[in-house]
Each structure stands twice: as structure tokens, then as C-alpha cells.
Amino acid sequence: MDADLRMGVDNENRPLVIDNGGGMMKVGFAGEDSPRHIVPTVLAHDSPPKDEDSVSDKDDIKSYIGKSRLDKKRLAMISRGQDKSDDSAGSSNTKLEWNLIGDEALGIDRSNGSISSSALSFSFNANSIKNFGQVSKLGSYRDEALYSELVHPIQFGKVEVESWDKMEKIYDAVFSHPKINTTPEDQKILLSEASENGKDHRERMAEMFFEKYKVPGLYFSLQPVLSLYAQGRTTGLVLDVGHHLTQAVPIYEGFALNHAIHRAHFGGADLTEYMKDMLKARLSKKTGVAAIKMNYSSLYYHKICTDIKEKLCAVSLNYDVDRNTIQEREYMLPDRKTITISNEAFMCTEALFNPSMVGKHQEKTLGVHQAVLHVYNKCDDHIKKLLAKNIVLSGGSTMFEGMKNRLSKELNAAPALNNTQTLFNRAPNASAAVNTNHPTMKVKDPSERKFSCWIGGSILASLPTFQQLWIQRAEYEERGPKNIVFSKCF
């Protein structure tokens, strides 16, 4: 790729591509082969410390969103109600709200891969949209009355109704980040969105970008469609497993077949919670010298379990056999102590094929193989042959070693079941016989599938033939969001 493009020359002439993931937002310029900026889609509000001595020089005050940068003394004065300026509103009960996004919210230092000390201090519940918790005793340098609010604005593919203002803060920070450093008023933007998000959500997003950010052009595209484009294809069946959402989407000649789309509120966040439960059970059994003290509700523990999931877990080809024969592996904690992992490495990912393992049985959530078959069977016969040979994996929660082989095995061993209830009742590994009722199903696992949605958007937005498809600002102002966003974006 041209070096000038990588250095950001003429950024204002190239569209910005934003993949709105529930766990990670990927941002970069069209025509590039990878996103420039990757940020966790999370925002935290912290109460300030009560005295200036507890605000160290290492605190990243400049990263606060929506507040001017304040010196340590002023921070302490506001927190004590002694600052009578406009920022404190003259109230003796005034609290300066710190707004942190991404890595800062999660207490992660990307520069060296470490987990910052602040992650020890706050409780965390990933199953809650708003996560409140008392400060841990481990964080003794902070006042115990402090609390943290951690918000994931995007839940199950959509921005939550009460979180649009927080989503704006994340976009504000992204636009001003040194790796992006762009003015939205001069930038056409392509946004990814989950399938079946609904008209109201897309209209609200269009209003934000045209009316708040005043972008000159905007386009929406479905995440699975973009993932397929990244492979140079326009027809296929995409299985996208993200942070909170699994999507199985059949696509024919660039268009999603809406009648056959399958969505499930299940993803990598559920696997992390499952790992947290299993690891807690293992560590709780250790006593004496072998005991490892851990605050199981802390961000620190959450990050440890996420890291173990991503680095040590794999998908078993034969779960019933492998879970009893797997070799133990060690994970080193930041304090140099080690945790031993064995069958948890397979149990965690087995939930992708058997969601009841993580408590999804009441919702009757289909396993990933069942979801693919369900979608496949809802398509017309003349399309099925094309889909069968183009099943494409996408999303960070498909990155596990063995995922392709296990999914291929399950799909090609399955009968051509046309009933969703029958699919749900059929357990993984139920049959080892090769199915002859449908064509051989070929699964593709592109190495870049963690970012394939963004890559597809980069390709699409840089095509000369695409430029006529943008929703222009003048069109939006003339016709309004209700009439324009679905007539030009499918």
C-alpha cells in the first residue's frame, strides 16, 4: 500500500470506516488494509479522590471526556466542594465526574500489555448494562466510598436508549485520537451495523452524524455483508460471533436475505463469564501456600479471565473425549504467580456449540452449528448450493484454534433438519456419520476475521463505483432520516 496513505496524507479525501462492535470499535480510513485505532466500546464514570495527594502524576487527566483538563489541586478542591467556579456549580456536594473510555475504563495499559493498578479497585459485572460496585480492599489508596459505573453503550448490536449520550462521547474521543485526528464535518463515514437492528436505531444514528457531527456523507452496511466483501465474495453464509451477539446471515449477490437471518444474544462476553465461574471454582479449592488471593468481582480478575480465554482456550473436535485427556497449561499472573488450566480450556469454547452450558437453555439459544443449519434450511434450493461452499467465519469469538474443523464436522454430520425445535434438541457430536442430504459444507476461517468487517468496509468505501451510493448531507436535509436511510442503504 502507498506509504503516503499509511502516513495519513489526504485523510480528508478518504472516507472514515467505523465498525461499531459491542466489545471493540475498529476505526480507520478507506483503502487501508487494517484499522488504525481499536478501542474497547466501554465508558467509565469514576468519583474523584478526596485529596490531591491521592491523584498521582500517573493519572491520565487529559483523557477525561467532556471535561477540561484540570490540575491535581483543582481536582481535590472540586471533590471537597471547595471550588466555586462554574465547573463545580457552587455546590458543596459537587463531584467531578471522570469520564474514561476504552483501555482507561478497563484499567489496561496497551503500551506494555499490563493491567494497571486501578483495575484492582473496582468491581465489575459484565452482565449488567450499568455496572456498579464497591471499591475492593485491594485498592486501599482510594477511598472506600468511591464507586465505579462502567457502561457498554452497545448491547446486542444496538446502542441502548439511555446510552446515546455516552456513545457520542466515545465518538468524540475517537475523532480526536492522534491515530485518527479528523474533523467529522469534512469526512464521509461508513458505519457498520448488526443485522435486524430496526429503522429507529438507524435513523437515530443518522441524526447523530448529520446533525451533531455534520458529516458530508454517510452510509450504513451490515457487518456480515462487509465480512463477506473482505473475502472478495458477494454470496455466502456468514457466521459472526461478537462480544454480545451471534449472527448467522445468508447473503446473495451482496444482499442479506432478511427472511433467513438468525440472531442470538450470545457471544464472547458469555464465554468470559463462564471462564470466570470455572476459574473461581478452581482457585477457591487452593489452600495454604498454593492459595491465590483474588478479588473475583474486580476488573483485574475480569481481564485475567479474558486473557486466559483468548490465549489458552481452543475448540475440541471431540469434546466428550478431549475434556478428559487435555494436558494442563499454566498462565502467569502479573505478580508472577501461576494458574493451572486444564479442561476449562475446552469447556469454555464448547458453550459455542452448547449454549445451555452458560445458562442459555431457557432462551433455547441455538449452538453456532445449529444456527448455520437453521439459516441454510430457510433459503431457496437454488441458493443453498452456493451457500454450502461459502460458509465464512467472522468476529473475535471465532478465533479459537479448532473452530473451523469442529464446525465443519458438525455441519457435515448433521441431517437436513428443517425444524428449529428438532435442531435445538440435537446435541453436538450426536452423529459421526457423514450426511448425504445436503452438499458438503465448506467452512472458511480467514486469518484476519477478527477485523474482517472493518476490512470489508475499507474495500467498499474505496471503490469508485460506490461513491454514488453515499447519503449526501443535502439529501438528508431535504428528505429527512425516515425517508433516506433505507432507500440508499439496504
On whether the CB atoms of residues 176 and 189 are closer than 8 A, the answer is no
Instruction: Flag whether pLDDT at 1 surpasses 50.
Output: no
Q: Shortest CA distance to 277 belongs to which of 348, 352, 349? A: 348
Query: DSSP labels for 35-56?
Result: -SEEEES-EEEEPPPSSGGGS-
Q: What is the mean pLDDT of residues 332-341?
A: 88
Full DSSP string of 347-395: HHHHTTT-GGGGT-TTTTPPPHHHHHHHHHHTS-HHHHHHHHT-EEEES
Q: Are 332 and 347 in contact (CB under 8 A)?
A: no
Which residues share a beta bridge with 37?
27
Task: Identify how many contiguous H helices and E strands the chain contains and give both numbers.
Answer: 17, 22
Parallel, antiparallel, or unpaired for β 329-332 and 262-264?
A: unpaired
Of 384, 390, 391, 394, which is closest to residue 418 (Cα–Cα)? 384
Among 231-240, 266-275, 320-329, 394-403, name the one with the lowest average pLDDT: 320-329
Q: What is the pLDDT of residues 181-198, one digit of tens each?
A: 999 999 999 999 999 898
Position 363 confidence tier, pLDDT thresholds 50, 70, 90: low
pLDDT digits (tens, 9 = 90+) for 399-435: 999 999 999 999 999 765 555 555 555 556 554 444 5
Judged against a pLDDT cut of 70, whether residue 15 lies above it is answered with yes
- The per-residue pLDDT for 53 is 45
All 3 cell numbers of residue 471?
447519503
Q: If you average pLDDT over residues 273-286, what whole number do you get?
A: 92
pLDDT exceeds 50 at position 80: no
Which range among 241-250, 315-324, 385-394, 421-430 shows the weakest confidence by mean pLDDT? Answer: 421-430
Of 68 and 199, which is predicted with more confidence? 199
Give the neighbor-by-neighbor strand order of the sheet with 189-193: 37-40, 24-29, 16-20, 189-193, 217-222, 471-472
Whole-number Å distance between alpha carbons of 40 and 269? 13
Q: Which pLDDT value is given to residue 245?
A: 96
Domains 229-266+363-449 and 268-356 share a fold: no
Residue 142: is its pLDDT beyond 60? no
Binned at pLDDT 50, 70 and 90, residue 139 comes out as: very low
Q: Which of 41-45, 90-94, 105-109 has the highest mean pLDDT?
A: 41-45
Model confidence band, residue 38 (pLDDT cutoffs 50, 70, 90): very high
Average pLDDT, the chain: 79
Query: Parallel, antiparallel, or unpaired for β 255-256 and 217-222?
Result: unpaired
Domain boundaries defined on the chain? 3-40+157-222+452-488, 43-151, 229-266+363-449, 268-356
Superfamily of domain 3-40+157-222+452-488: ATPase, nucleotide binding domain (3.30.420.40)
Lowest mean pLDDT among 44-58, 77-91, 268-282, 455-469: 77-91
Report the residue count for the chain: 490
- Per-residue pLDDT, averaged over 324-335, amounts to 88
Residues 85 and 57: their CA atoms lie apart, in Å, by: 24
Using alpha carbons only, give the angle 355, 356, 361 rounded to the nearest 5 degrees: 110
Q: How far is CA 63 from the centre of its chain?
A: 22
pLDDT band at 149 (very low <50, low <70, confident <90, very high): low
Task: State the Cα–Cα distance between residues 329 and 322, nearest whole angstrom.
Answer: 14
What's the confidence (pLDDT) of residue 323?
86
The CATH number of domain 229-266+363-449, selected from 3.40.640.10, 3.40.630.30, 3.30.420.40, 3.40.50.1000: 3.30.420.40
Q: Does 164 have pLDDT greater than 50?
A: yes
Say how far residue 437 (Cα) sits from the centre of its chain: 36
In the chain, the percentage of residues whose pLDDT exceeds 70 is: 71
pLDDT of 117 > 60? The answer is no
3 state SS of 10: coil
Cα 327 to Cα 344: distance, rounded to the nearest angstrom: 11
CATH topology of domain 268-356: Actin; Chain A, domain 4 (3.90.640)
Output the pLDDT for position 435.
52
Task: Determine the angle formed by the axes of helices 199-207 and 481-488, rounding to 10 degrees.
Answer: 110
Backbone angles phi, psi at 347, to 5 degrees: -65, -40
Of 286, 306, 310, 290, the residue nearest 298 (C-alpha)? 306
Task: For residues 119 and 294, give the distance between their C-alpha atoms in angstroms, rounded to a whole number.
Answer: 12
> Which residue type occupies 422?
T
3-class SS of residue 329 = strand
Which grid coordinates belong to 209?
A: 452524524
For residue 17, give every residue at least 6 positions away whose Cβ sits within 8 Å of its Cβ, in sequence order, or none.
27, 28, 29, 30, 35, 189, 190, 192, 454, 457, 458, 461
Please tell me the predicted confidence (pLDDT) of residue 292. Answer: 80
Strands 443-444 and 391-394: parallel
- Report helix, strand or coil for 434: coil
Average pLDDT, stretch 218-230? 98
Residue 307 is predicted with a pLDDT of: 94
> pLDDT at residue 141 above 60?
no
pLDDT per residue as tens digits for the range 298-310: 888 888 999 999 9
Which of 332, 256, 259 has the alpha carbon at shortest distance from 292? 332
Reported as type and span, the H/E element at residue 94 is none
Q: What is the pLDDT of residue 373?
A: 96
Give the model confidence (pLDDT) of 287-300 as tens digits.
665 678 888 888 88
Q: Is the pLDDT of residue 140 over 60?
A: no
